[in-house]
Structure 1
């Protein structure tokens, strides 16, 4: 059983921050930046990952020439059934995130599927048939302006950050933004590359040698394919620290209405706030959605006030606090935000296997 007491220190947090900037950097490269021996860093990382306190996952969702279809699904459950419903949905490859939420929904589920018909099948013949589900409401993601893998801790100094990223003071951005829109075009993932990418979901630092052995490829082939997918934004890495240890334990979501001609400006301004974790355009009742990490629940009102002050064209329409993040980016989490296990995000699998004969 994992202890509720962590031995995490500032060096551990600095290590996680460094791996957010350079997820597959060697210990030899990280050592001089962090002022520690490579073997010491390796032992620290092994301790953190074994305790579920930190991890790096690889997510690759693009096949063909188009990105996947993604949606936020609000789930209303019968009284007392939301834990069981969440247990069921956490097991689904298509549900990349599952949260118990406040407000007019019991659960928030982030779904990724290959196409709109698969989304229809998953919602109609999977989610809506889970015992305890009363109704659902979906918002399809139409643009990702700021992705969750860009959110950073703030443990490293600017000089350390520059050494890892190669940026200079002129191009440096503060942790959390602002940033250019997340790219939606790039190298597609072939059918034969999908198992390789899925193997990185639990541990994106797996060595090229181990991947080559598992998939019976040469190391040069594995290295070349991973480099191509990463450069083309078909494979992204996410380095995470358990929320209860990060200093930012509260997850919140804000919905808003933004004039279409102001979306780009609003996204850039929202990304400039330290707390912002994701920023998306969505369909549905409202067209703008922001998720944030906060230090306390009380900070939500200050955060929304900052948004309103910086974005005169934005009208906040709803907000919610996550009571328990059960799953994030394909990782099942405990109530402290520590990783329990990985659910491989095989979004290309049949989304409703029990709906035989349904087209």
Structure 2
């Protein structure tokens, strides 16, 4: 992370307010914190937290889910850019969204480009998609595949932290008790799959439900979940539509940095308020940034300001999203 002075984003929404932001931030701090615990820290009732949570879920796409961390697990990750025949991109995007190995899909470039993130479960799955299905799709006229090499920001580091909606004392009061250190490789064992599968659908599922799904005792479930999170094999993520915070415009920025400055540029961008995900990639461009903005003027100001002033950047291609088709493992809500 850059050590330069940081100016966080500002929430600007006519529908949701600062308490909503604080609840989201509380969930990012401790995804399984009870409504009563969140309410006590924020100074509101648990009924208020529950009511806001339901509204954020219904209208803002809020979901709290477990995510396998492919970087720590040593699994491949790829970002795909597919140029399609006009009027076919949406159909291709929707087909990709049904695949369990895709984690986000967006339409861009006037509706002729599909952007996709994929996490193949095996080399065979990767080859099936990149060497089999996509090349045989007649309406796909160009495929660019970029392997993700190093994450500078994102994953367990959520964008919400950049709002600084909670004090250090509030975060400390929300954090769960630290588990015992995990010794050994980061891994998800076969017997963990029922536990992780259920948490991937809802990370706030109750311990009795986890107990029934896994056949383990409640205490064993608690210990194993804590160990999986402590090892980094999974993290509990808060997913939502950034539009509810006043940031309706999302874009991918494909950046070419001088190789000797790749690390410093990636770290600097990770500290920018606009960046939600920053990774080094293979390909002609060597950095990909997922960024969010209040409007197109905000995108321009970022390109010509904080990003444009960074020493070592040689080229930037900005690709605003027209529509999100899939976010994480589910389609965003229809609004």
Query: Normalising by the residue count of structure 1, what TM-score does the alignment of the two structures yield?
Result: 0.79
| Structure 1, unaligned runs of 5 or more | 1-5, 168-184, 337-359
1:152 has 2:160 as partner: yes
1:52-201 equivalence runs, <5 A: 53-62=61-70, 66-102=73-109, 106-130=113-137, 132-148=139-155, 149-152=157-160, 157-159=165-167, 161-165=168-172, 187-201=186-200
1:1-359 equivalence runs, <5 A: 8-51=16-59, 53-62=61-70, 66-102=73-109, 106-130=113-137, 132-148=139-155, 149-152=157-160, 157-159=165-167, 161-165=168-172, 187-334=186-333, 336=335
Counterpart contact for 1:18–1:156, Cα < 8 Å: no
Cα deviations across residues 43-102 of structure 1 (Å, max 9, x unaligned)?
A: 332343245632212111559x84210011111111211111111111111111100012
Alignment: residue pair count? 312
User: Secondary structure of 1:200's partner?
Assistant: helix
| Structure 2, unaligned runs of 5 or more | 1-13, 175-183
User: Secondary structure of 2:36's partner?
Assistant: helix
Kindly state the Cα deviation for residue 221 of structure 1 after the two structures are TM-superposed.
Answer: 1.4
User: Secondary structure of 1:278's partner?
Assistant: strand
Counterpart contact for 1:59–1:198, Cα < 8 Å: no
What is the CA–CA distance in structure 2 between the aligned matches of 1:258 and 1:156, rounded to whole Å? Answer: 29
Which deviates more from structure 2 when the two are superposed, residues 279-288 or residues 35-44?
35-44
Cα deviations across residues 210-233 of structure 1 (Å, max 9, x unaligned)?
A: 111122111111111111111111
What is the CA–CA distance in structure 2 between the aligned matches of 1:134 and 1:334, rounded to whole Å? Answer: 30
Superposed CA RMSD in Å reads: 2.6
Counterpart contact for 1:69–1:140, Cα < 8 Å: yes
User: Secondary structure of 1:36's partner?
Assistant: coil
User: Secondary structure of 1:121's partner?
Assistant: helix
CA shift in 2, pair 1:306/1:237, >3 Å: farther
CA shift in 2, pair 1:288/1:157, >3 Å: closer
Counterpart contact for 2:302–2:308, Cα < 8 Å: no
